Amino acid sequence: EAARRQGVLFGVAQVFRFNESVRTLRDWVADERIGRLVFARAEFSFFADSIHPRSWLYDATVAGGGPILDLGVHCIDALRFILADEVRRVFCVASSDDRSGTVEAAACLTLEFSRGAFGSVMLSFRAPYRTPIELVGERGTVRANDGLNVEHPVEVEFLRDGAVLETKATSNRLAYGLQVDAFAEAIEGKAQFPIPGEEGWRNQQILDAALRSAASARVEEVPPINPDHSH
């Protein structure tokens, strides 16, 4: 709202929306090759040990939380982007350990999307780096084993009845450059930046509901989108 009042360009650096793998999954879901979506799965994990360069990861006053915020935002945003749908309700369970202090070390979120699909997001600081994404519909499945990775090629697969019908090799190595280029074009007035501030606000509402759910052990509602504040 402050940016809008001042006429300032405000975008959110959700870089994985510029991944070729993520955009391929979005296109394949949109063209209905898997039919009506049933459920979607995203995972994100890496080992966050005591010598990790981001030494503040376990400091709640700086990080705000553990992998729910640090990793969950990317999974949630990717699923919202791929499905072109919004989350209505969230249920979250989380666990801490002797190394994570006052923040969680791992969590599992169940998301209910507005068109009826269910999402599963699993997050951890205690497992090797992995970012699989899978979308299951009534007529097929699309998946990328390491869908958010930007360091090596990612294969996106379309399956039906357990058989792989199509495989597309994608590269995400230009994602950060494409993001900066898109923001530069918006500054120059050539195009709208595709991830405005409202998208970050919406992700944060979902994350806040997940944190409430982890504390309450109940399903938590995500506030409905106000048309006056959407883009």
pLDDT at 101: 85
130 φ/ψ sector (left φ>0, alpha ψ -120 to 50, else beta): beta
Residue 50: pLDDT band by 50, 70, 90 thresholds?
A: low
Residue 60: pLDDT band by 50, 70, 90 thresholds?
A: confident
- Mean of all residue pLDDT scores within the chain: 94
Q: Mind listing the pLDDT tens digit for each residue in 84-131?
A: 999 999 999 999 998 888 899 999 999 999 999 999 999 999 999 999
pLDDT at 2: 92
Is the pLDDT higher at 211 or at 52? 211
143 bridge partner residues = 134, 157
Q: Mind listing the pLDDT tens digit for each residue in 23-42?
A: 999 999 999 999 999 999 99
pLDDT at 198: 93
Cα 41 to chain center, whole Å? 10
- Provide DSSP, 169-198: EE--TTHHHHHHHHHHHHHTTSS--SSBHH
Residue 58: pLDDT band by 50, 70, 90 thresholds?
A: confident
pLDDT at 229: 53
pLDDT at 224: 85
How many Å apart are CA 184 and CA 162, to the nearest integer? 43
